[in-house]
Amino acid sequence: MKFKKAIIIGATSGIGKALAFKLAREGYALGLTGRRGGLLQELQRALIQPGVDAGGVVVSIKEMDVAKTEEAQQLFKELVAEMGEVDLVVICAGVGLSSTRPSWQIDRKVIEVNVLGFVAMMTAAAEYFCKKGNGHIVGISSVAAFLYHGSSSAYPASKAFVMNYMKGLRLKLKRIQPKIYITDIRPGYVDTPMVEHIKFKPFLITAEKAADLIYKAITKKKRSAYVPWRTGVAANFYGFLLRVWPDFFERFLK
């Protein structure tokens, strides 16, 4: 059986970190990236030590800031070269900054990471898999793409971009190389530092549970998956209400 290899972009915390342990337990060799080199090294040590969680897997790491797009693409190519070959790329890097007042600095950072950084990694992965002839790209969008919020206008907009970008790229690759799969993961509330400041978190799940659900979607090569599925029902219904009766339902958004 061929040994599986995966790269996780943004693996130092949250869903990315939990997914690293999940894929390691499933027998993947890993290439991990993140902005925080110290945390990346800690994760590598935890994964490669026999008897610790996954235990004894092969792990390569690259310190990377996806907002530095050209540099990030070069580092991605170097990581692929070090691993020899890659079957799966998961793009988890993202920020969820918010502000009660208009802020160019905050909105720019969200766009640089969630939009420009995401596209840089998606295209790098797509170009590699086009040359290879097959592969699987997983992107993390969010149910926030169906909503909007008074304190975070850039974040849901960035996730709506991510969702629609993956739809378009899927169609483009289908004509070029039909053996490349793209899966859009749409999480709801996952118990990570990104949602610590939020009081009301319906259908909250752990990062480990999210990783299990994402892995199932990967193995089934799904086009998209809500994590958990109940958040998709709720978000789509609420998004519909906001489109139909915005004047009434916007009063509940702060």
Paired with 89 in beta bridges are: 7, 137
**What 8-state DSSP symbol labels residue 143?**
G
Residues in contact with 251: Cβ distance below 8 Å, sequence separation at least 6, in sequence order: none
CA distance linking residue 179 with residue 71, whole number of Å: 28
Contact present, 225 and 186 (Cβ < 8 Å): yes
In eight-state DSSP terms, residue 197 is: T
Please identify which of the residues 28, 128, 155, 189 carries the catalytic annotation: 155
Q: Is 165 a catalytic residue?
A: no
Distance CA 224, CA 139 (A): 9
- Tell me if residue 100 falls in helix, strand or coil: coil
Task: Supply angle C-alpha 130, 131, 137, rounded to 5.
Answer: 40
- C-alpha pair distances (Å), 83 with each of 58, 59, 127, 251: 9, 9, 17, 51
Q: Which SS3 state, helix, strand or coil, does residue 11 take?
A: coil
- As annotated, the active-site residues are 155
